[in-house]
Amino acid sequence: MALHLFPSSYRCDCRHESHFFERTVWEMEAKSRRKPARIGDSELDSHVVEFVGGQAVAVICPRLGRCEITGSD
């Protein structure tokens, strides 16, 4: 159960947190209204956040695979 941590961070099921600037997340949400978009963090075990239809829908973990974002904190 990956989570969206308001306003612009995401927590994977493996407890890794990806932090982004708010403007970056807004831009990805806007871009994903036209076509699916992804953004990755800069950590060694890079996680990718997937956006579809104007919202973040999943965190892609290098260890666990695709983890759906099911809530917010």
Strands (E) in the chain, as ranges, are 2-5, 9-11, 17-19, 37-40, 48-52, 55-61, 65-72
Per-residue pLDDT reduced to its tens digit, 14-66: 999 999 999 999 999 999 999 999 999 988 889 999 999 999 999 999 999 99
pTM reported for the whole predicted model? 0.92
Q: Residue 27 is part of which domain span?
A: 2-72
Total of domains in the chain: 1
Write the CB contacts of 46 (distance below 8 Å, at least 6 apart in sequence): 40, 62
pLDDT at 45: 81
CA nearest neighbour of 10 among 45, 54, 60: 60
